[in-house]
A and B are shown apart, each in its own frame.
Chain A
């Protein structure tokens, strides 16, 4: 994936989050993760990503 692809995905996600609305965005993102996990197929890698994404979460946000 190149930089432009990543930028496009970033923009598509931002737009979709706005489209589904703040109240539904958590559900939407959880569904998206399950879909991507299923497509990825490597359970270990997905679990690593879960840890990676939860790192550096700042509590005061």
Chain B
């Protein structure tokens, strides 16, 4: 919502573009058929389109709006998401505009009880987290989408029906000039929490709604404070409640406060009420200067997901498949990981580099990630918004104790988003128990500084075999000579990298295009690596 007198897209600092509907004369010349139709041009749909394009797959993206989503919404982009953006060739503007951060501070009744730092250091290419308004996220993705010849976007185009065909699905599209049918072999439903496609396909989200409701308000002000996330527990402004404060680019500050049980949502969303609440929060942080209200909204903490993220030729991606509580900034980041996951898999199947069975791994991998998020977020939610006497008493006892005993402050540490480990997936191999340490199968590959660049910079476009022995590396290269989708990297042993991977000279790690570890062998041979590579790409019998 915006202050009285400003329309939905009238921002203090951002100019929303206007996208015309497809020109009927132009459109009639285009073929209404594509390998992949993507429904929703939000951050998830655009990321999925870019991930497919990276594999050379054409897609058409439909969106019923004429511009980006209103308001700043999701503002925290986590390190794993920066890797996704980098792989899609879109990370440059994100790095330039986003505010990287590593530190959080928690306060109880005005006193600082905890300062936590997220893992970071010279071995890391990206910061653990970047703050960036969602409209910038969409704008930067759009710049990449618009420049890509393999992606066509049809704005103001709503999907009003879908039916299965023998080799895909037929969508009914409605735009300002009328209705038409569109044939796609595969459909990605990236149409958000209130997904129409999910309803049309007869599916529901299942799970829990938590009690807590939060208002998020963005204000513009000259506030001198570093990019450090602040959590205020039981502050004067919201006795018994919790307030979160984040810095964003363009002097925008996100203020996020919990509503009390008795407060009506409707009343809390009135502009004067929001102004009143923001004023009292600013008093808590000793800001006395002027400020302008930019945008506000309300959310509640839900843990809802579909039973299966796949329905035949339709994949549900991002919020259409699951709604996660905001604590720990996992909504957007989890959605981007979904989009990258289905993007490379569908791309590999469509360009013949992988068997169709690879697609069966999408739902279990990403549902696993969702439920991991639920577990973490439920823990955070119980701390941030305790909903019974017992949880509240423990929370207050912890905060009170933390004033004098730092160990208790650790219980207030929000444990920010980390990438999920796909350890029980059809697209990863069994763990090799001979490893003592190192990243396990399914984990995101740890980063490492090399001579002037990073390990991730040396990965191939497809799978990469990390070897620690020149001869073994050469044997793998020879064995897969005809296949340019496997890159073989020969790393020094012993070295800082081989230590990090707990690797022997004969060890090999197989890394997927999404940088997750597909498999590892403590004592490898070229044959076993190639066999593993064929197994996780479901190419047995193909080659």
Contacts and interface: CB of A to CB of B under 8 A. Distances in A.
Interface string A22-61: 1001000000000000000000000000001101111001
B389 A56 contact: no
Contacts of A19: 390
Given A7-B411, A14-B390, A22-B389, A61 B396 contact: yes
Interface in B92-138: 109
A10 B393 CA distance: 10
Interface stretch (B74-82, B255-263, B399-407): B399-407
B379 A58 contact: no
B389 A17 contact: yes
A57 B394 contact: no
Contacts of B482: none
A3 B394 contact: no
B30 interface: no
A17 B390 CA distance: 5
B411 A25 contact: no
Contacts of B379: 7
A3 B394 CA distance: 16
B398 interface: yes
Contacts of B401: 52-53, 56
Nearest to A49: B405
B180 interface: no
B10 interface: no
B152 interface: no
B403 A16 contact: no
Contact of B407 (A6, A15, A18): A6
A56 B111 CA distance: 11
Given A53-B401, A55-B404, A58-B400, A6 B410 contact: yes
B411 A15 contact: no
A13 B400 contact: no
B339 to A, nearest CB: 31
Contact of B109 (A3, A18, A53, A58): A58
Contact of B410 (A3, A14, A22, A25): A3
Nearest to A21: B389
Contact of A14 (B109, B394, B404): B394
B382 to A, nearest CB: 8
A56 B382 CA distance: 23
Nearest to B394: A14
Given A3-B410, A6-B410, A58-B109, A14 B400 contact: no
A61 B410 CA distance: 23
Contacts of B394: 10, 13-14, 17
Contacts of A55: 403-404
Contact of A25 (B393, B398, B407): B393
A53 B109 CA distance: 17
A56 B394 CA distance: 15
B388 interface: yes
Contacts of A14: 382, 386, 388, 390-391, 393-394
A56 B401 CA distance: 7
Contacts of B389: 17-18, 22, 25
Nearest to B401: A53
A16 B394 CA distance: 11
A53 B393 CA distance: 14
B400 A6 contact: no
Interface in B403-425: 403-405, 407, 410-411
B390 A25 contact: yes
Interface string B195-226: 00000000000000000000000000000000
A32 B341 CA distance: 49
A57 B401 CA distance: 9
Contacts of B382: 11, 14
A50 to B, nearest CB: 13
With a 10 A CB-CB cut-off, give which of A16, A25, A56, A58 has the most chain B CB atoms: A56
6 residue pairs, one from A and one from B, having the closest CB atoms: A17-B390, A18-B390, A56-B403, A14-B390, A14-B394, A14-B391
29 contacts: A3-B410, A6-B407, A6-B411, A10-B398, A11-B382, A13-B394, A14-B382, A14-B386, A14-B388, A14-B390, A14-B394, A15-B390, A16-B390, A17-B389, A17-B390, A17-B393, A17-B394, A18-B388, A18-B390, A18-B391, A25-B390, A25-B393, A52-B401, A52-B404, A55-B404, A56-B400, A56-B401, A56-B403, A58-B109
Given A52-B401, A52-B405, 5 more contacts: A7-B379, A10-B411, A14-B393, A25-B393, A58-B109
